Structure 1
Amino acid sequence: MNDKHSFRYLWIGQTLANSGDLFYIVGLITIVYSLTQSATIMAVIPFVIAFSRFFGGIIAPWVIDRYALKQILIYSQLVKTILLVCLTIYVFTLLGEGGLFFVFLLISFTAFLDGWATPARNAMLPQLVPSHKLVRANSFLAVVDQIVQLGGWAVGGIFVAIFSGELLILVTAILFILSTIMMAAIQVKKQERKQTPRMDKLASLLEGWITIWKTPSLRTVAATDIIDAISSVVWIAAILYIYIEEVLHKSEIWWGYINSTFFAGLIVGGFISFRIESHLKKRLATGIFVGTIMIGLITLCFGFTTNAWLALVLSILVGIATAIKDISQQTVFQLTTSEEKLPKVFSARDAIMTGVFGSSTLLFGYLAEVFGVQVVFVVASVLLLLSAIWSYVRRETLKII
């Protein structure tokens, strides 16, 4: 089997898994709300997911030391499938009697496993795709991921409206089974599990973090990642709801419009990166700098516009710039890190971004409540412009081709 087939199995398997992840959240939110009628308890679901995924990323290096990337992908997806089967049985039989503790426990375990699977997928990609095609492959995966995000919520919502949240959980379990089969069909060029001296647990845990710190290009992008994670909080529902009400003076349905146009912009940006991949690979520093400064300026305009239709246009533009910047940053990690260290580097990066994003959510919520939502957009814009300056000053470290 050639790498082209393995790459196909990877993206199909990941698409099935991502669709399942999204569907089961839609199903759970529906079920939980029908039982509790509590928005607060519903909000606990994304919090549990983020918190559990963060800790999964923290301990991912220990797993990476013991198993090959393919094994991590297969076993994590297999265990997620088993958990979803258990959840399916539970919601169809015992949920009304047993309460929600078991549900949140299963959610936590599932997200915890994603903390392993996501860096494993990103690190496996260079083993399946030649280096000169990495930008193209990253662009393709980004487009597929965002199509799932854009359409998945709508499809899941329609399914729940016609059938039920419980049945959507069952569909998720089926998708996870198919995803596991796809992951098992992947073949890498060589046996990737390496015979190296056994590290102590702390050294293994810190290896990815230390690699990022000691590698100039990775340190440059990691600093940008941190600022991006902070500033991206302005696009969460809690902030946008306030913005739509206080600035645009529109109903809550406009959150759906803005969210959809943002994801549409991400898809367009992915297609653009796909088409210009040969140029972008030679100018990754430019992609990061231009993308970041565009996001900063557009975010500032977005925060102060009172025209709802203009806000949609700006949302699309932010999505386009974000896709080009993110693909450039991802490619820098893949091209400047050795195959052996790449999984741990990606797990460290994922943990950084998840942890910073979660913490910043609380801070930005406080700023929006005390100083007004437009101040939050100003803060995000200033941070992004500082990030653009940082990437420009450090552009020499990003010349890796």
Structure 2
Amino acid sequence: MKSIAFRHLWFGQALANLGDVLYIVGLISAVYTMTGSAVYMTAVPLIITFSRFVSSVVAPLLMNRATLRTLLAWSQAGKTALLFTVLFALQSSSVWPLLLLGAGIAFLDGWALPARNAFVPYLVKREELMGANGFLSTVDQIIQFSSWALGGVLLSLIGVDYLFVTVFILFLVSTVYMFRLPAALRTNLEERKSWWAQLGEGWVLVKEKKGLVSVFCVYALESVAATVWIAAVLYLYVDRQLGKGEEWWGFINSAFFIGLLLASIVIFRYHGLFSRKRASILPLTIIMTSVITLFFAWNELAVLALVLSLLFGLFDQLKTIILQTYLQESAPPDELGKIYAAQGTLTTLLFGLSSAGAGLLVESWSIPAVFTVSGILLALSIIPMMVFLKNE
């Protein structure tokens, strides 16, 4: 983890992730200022999610023709170029150029995360994988936890135009770091295959690799179950069930992110222990996330909701990092990118569809009922996980 190449990877991606959040803050603000419409404003995350889904689908085509370094570097360079164009689109009276550029940036971003995760096993030793994933997750969570608040502060201090200038600088520096990564890991070219066969390569690898079908079943169940923790559902939980104001919505979200951060720090600090005991710890994390969600479902005490949210974030992140390490050990680095692309396609699609479904269920069912269904789905994920561990 002390290699210069790994430092370039995590620092460059940290700058890119910070820029991504600030960019979304600026884009939502700009769209609302132009239109005054909440519909257009809420369309921004929907467009971003859809673009990333399409990007995950087509990622195998690119991974058959380029190194992981090339994908990371040129996707970031493309995002930087589009962001520069956004500065001119702000002067337009139409909101559509902004939305189209937002879709383009999200599309380019769609294969960056699979490429980054596939790059990690190449840059660190096998025994350091758990620690490296813990470190990267720590950096990611710190950025996620702080950058939304930072975006709001910067927006009020310097305005949306200069906020986008700041993002452009972050993207530009990130691009420099991505081009300094080692030019290795060209994936196996399959240009004799038809393009539709190449699109399915990740899924073929999932089927061929021992245990990955079970792991993907866990990812599928969790993607559906996780929709109750989105901001809109939590807002209704705070309002209807806890009877508290908007500030408690922020407190519960903050507690959740603190739990994520604590888990990442713990794994980074004690990665050797977690590597040795992960077969025992993983089922425990699944059970705990299910039990915590069920308690959360019927809880009406605001302080207890904070504690449960923190604990859920803690155990959910432990589970995520351990599963990611298993995934990285399941295939050689030149195949991992396609597997991660398949995972991104699955989780993005299911989460997007389930998010819409969760909103409808909240209106027709009670809040406790929706969270109870989530807890049951999380409990069911223990079945494919035990199948995986049994065959490990």
Query: So what's the TM-score if we normalise by structure 2?
Result: 0.97
The AA in structure 1 aligned to 2:23 is Y
Residue in structure 2 matching 1:248, options 233, 242, 247: 242
Q: 5 Å matches for 1:339-354?
A: 339-354=333-348
1:62–1:205 contact (8 Å) kept in structure 2 = yes
Q: 1:276: Cα distance to partner?
A: 2.4
**Which shifted more, 27-36 or 190-199?**
190-199
Letter in 1 for 2:67: A
1:197 deviates by: 6.2
Query: 1:300 touches 1:377 (CA, 8 Å); kept in 2?
Result: yes
CA-CA distance at 1:201 after TM superposition: 1.1
Unaligned segments of structure 2, at least 5 residues: none
Query: Which stretch of structure 1 is more off in the superposition, 388-397 or 322-331?
Result: 388-397
Aligned twin of 1:118: 113
Structure 1 residue 396 displacement after superposition? 1.7
Percent identity of equivalent pairs:
38
Q: Is the 8 A contact 2:263 2:315 kept in 1?
A: yes
The whole-number CA distance in structure 1 between the counterparts of 2:142 and 2:288 is 23
Counterpart of 1:167 in structure 2: which amino acid?
Answer: Y
Residues 114-123 or 191-200, more deviating: 191-200
Give the C-alpha shift of residue 292 in structure 1.
1.4
Q: Is this contact kept in 2: 1:50–1:358, CA < 8 A? A: yes
Corresponding residue for residue 8 of structure 2: 9
CA distance in 1, matches of 2:308, 2:185: 47
**Within the alignment, does 1:143 sit opposite 2:142 as a pair?**
no
Q: Deviation at 1:273?
A: 1.2
Instruction: Please point out which of 295, 312, 330 is paired with 1:301.
Output: 295
Aligned residue in 2 for 1:90 = 89
Superposition map of 1:223-372 within 5 A: 223-372=217-366
1:176-235, Cα deviation, whole Å (9 max, x unpaired): 0000001111125x4635566632212211111111123232111110001111111011
Could you tell me whether the CA contact under 8 Å between 1:218 and 1:332 is conserved in 2? no
Cα RMSD after superposing both structures: 1.5
1:213 matched to 2:212: no
Counterpart residue number, 1:41: 40
Aligned partners of 1:10 and 1:186 also within 8 Å: yes
Say whether 1:21 aligns with 2:20: yes
Contact 2:185 2:333 in 1 (8 A): no
After superposition, the C-alpha distances for 1:106-147 in whole angstroms (9 at most, x for unaligned) are: 011111111111111111111101111000000000010000
C-alpha distance in structure 1 between counterparts of 2:100 and 2:279, whole Å: 42
* Corresponding residue pairs, total: 392
User: Is 1:159 aligned to 2:154, yes or no?
Assistant: yes
CA contact (8 A) 1:3 1:128 kept: no
Structure 1 stretches lacking a partner, 5+ long? none
The 3-state SS of whatever aligns with 1:163 is helix
Give the whole-Å Cα distance in 2 for the aligned partners of 1:225 and 1:49: 21
How far apart are residue 13 of structure 1 and its match? 0.4
Helix, strand or coil for the counterpart of 2:223? Answer: helix
Aligned AA (1:365): G
Distance in 2 separating the partners of 1:319 and 1:279: 20
User: Separation in 1 of the partners of 2:281 and 2:344?
Assistant: 21
Moved more, 55-64 or 115-124: 115-124
Using the alignment, how far apart are the partners of 2:110 and 2:326 within structure 1?
A: 21
In structure 2, relative to structure 1, the CA distance for the partners of 1:270 and 1:62 (3 Å cut) is same
Q: Is the 8 A contact 2:69 2:178 kept in 1?
A: yes
Distance in 1 separating the partners of 2:187 and 2:209: 24
Q: Is the CA contact 1:31–1:166 (under 8 Å) kept in the aligned structure 2?
A: no
SS in 2 for 1:279: helix
For the structure 1 residues 305 and 184, does the alpha-carbon distance in structure 2 shift closer, same or farther, using more than 3 Å as the test?
Answer: same
Equivalent pair of 2:235/2:246 in contact (CA under 8 Å): yes
- The one-letter amino acid paired with 2:168 is A
Residue pair 1:285, 1:391 contacting (<8 A) in 2 also: no
CA distance in 1, matches of 2:14, 2:225: 27
Structure 2: how far apart are the matches of 1:198 and 1:288? 40
- Counterpart residue type for residue 270 of structure 1: S
Report which stretch shifted further, 324-333 or 279-288.
Answer: 279-288
Contact map agreement 2:190 2:198 (CA 8 A) in 1: no
What do the CA deviations read for 1:284-304 (whole angstroms, capped 9, x no partner)?
A: 333331111111111111121
- Secondary structure, aligned partner of 1:66: coil
Contact 2:215–2:388 at 8 Å: present in 1 too? no
Q: Distance in 2 between matches of 1:284 and 1:337?
A: 19
